[in-house]
Amino acid sequence: MTDQTLEYVVLRCRGCQTAYPAALEYACSRCLGPLDPEYDAEEVAKRLSRDGIEAGPRSIWRYAPLLPASPGPGDLAPGLTPLVPAPRLAEALGVPGPLLLKDDTRNPTNSFKDRVVAVAVARARAFGLSTVACASTGNLAGATAAAAAAQGLECVVVIPADLEAGKVASAAAFGATVVAVEGSYDQANRLSMQAVEAFGWGFVNVNLRPWYAEGSKTVGLEVAEQLGWSLPEHVVVPIASGALLTKVHQGFGVLADHGLVERTPAKVHGAQSVGCSPVAAAFAAGVDEVTPVRPSGIVKSLAIGDPADGAEALATVRGTGGRVEAVDDSEVVEAIELLARTTGVFGETAAGVTVATVGRLAARGEFRPGERVVALITGHGLKTREVLDGRAGATVTVRPNIDALSEALEPLRPGLAVPG
């Protein structure tokens, strides 16, 4: 299979630096280290310009010169999601400068995973694969299943059996074969590695992982473009495998390398939940190694106990002068509600983790007046709506007449139903 964009991409081992051609490989045959795409900078420079990007498609594909694939027929065109100011949330959290939300709930299947899947599936097709698959903490299942449905590919999603019903239902609705593993995500992931060997499917986050992870870079590219081609002073990123955080930072770097933004300091902060905080624990302990944990709690989309890019994410945070925080489940639920009530954006538990972390960082005095803080809202609240059960705000049931309505409203919100 030929694909023009790969003329100037090789795979380089993160461990021993050996370079490989851009093939369907994900581990170094010498040291088993992970492989990352590496672009020929001169070739990219020939193709990359602000004008070219701004005139491009309204999706991740506007950054085509920085992506290792081209979209095929049926591509769902994720990305270029809004970056929205959130002044009321900033005030509530004590953020002194502008707070902006990167609202990735607006992607085709309502999470940022549509970005990574778009790139991985485009590569899968270029490699001639007819079945795509994934090991998923939830959102990836829906994104992979939708892309496969739109592009006429077979799809198998492997999930831990205890996932939220909404996430399982959406993957199944798209026609994927859903395999629920009696065990954790990390066990589902290990089973997937064996399935790669046994069946030769294209697992977007296993054998296609080098390409998949590149899709995350587009979040950083878009934020910089949407800030008028400048880098934010702070970005707060939820961590599962750590790829999103690492790639957002790489996205900032590559734009600076090519002179599209000024190389100003941009602190990258990581957000985890107490129920699964291996990177936050390593950060707090001041060590470089990330020790695997057994996940618990309500934040299932971030529940990777042995994160593939955890050490990389940790090094990225430290290199930028950022922090990694871990917030507990009650803070997550409160943050989901605060976000919804001050911005109109309904985020899932990962968004609650991010927003609660913004509050933590603000309380620590990490943000100075005038500094722009970007919070990544990576998934939609309807997917994890059960965490709000029993907390619904003001619901009143009334008989259908105006006196009953007036009577019912009075104790809830005095003054709301004053005769006008």
Ligand X SMILES: *Cc1c(COP(=O)(O)O)cnc(C)c1O
The contact set with ligand X (CB under 6 A) reads: 111, 113, 139, 216, 238-244, 301-302, 348, 350, 378-379
Nearer to Zn ion, 150 or 193 (CB): 193
- Residue 108 binds: one of ligand X, Zn ion, none (C-beta under 5 to 8 A by kind): none
Nearer to ligand X, 36 or 348 (CB): 348
Nearest Cα to Cα of residue 292 among 302, 310, 279, 306: 306
CB of 36 to Zn ion, least distance (A): 11
Positions in 20-39 near Zn ion (CB under 5 A): 28, 30-31, 33
- Residue 241 binds: one of ligand X, Zn ion, none (C-beta under 5 to 8 A by kind): ligand X
What is the separation, in whole angstroms, between the first and last Cα of the chain? 70
Question: Which residue is closest to Zn ion by CB?
Answer: 28
- Residue 379 binds: one of ligand X, Zn ion, none (C-beta under 5 to 8 A by kind): ligand X
CB of 257 to Zn ion, least distance (A): 24
Kindly give the pairing relationship between strand 99-103 and strand 83-85: antiparallel
CB of 313 to ligand X, least distance (A): 7
CB of 200 to ligand X, least distance (A): 24
- Residue 28 binds: one of Zn ion, ligand X, none (C-beta under 5 to 8 A by kind): Zn ion
CB of 155 to ligand X, least distance (A): 17
Nearer to Zn ion, 13 or 235 (CB): 13
- Residues in contact with Zn ion by the rule CB under 5 A: 13, 15-16, 18, 28, 30-31, 33
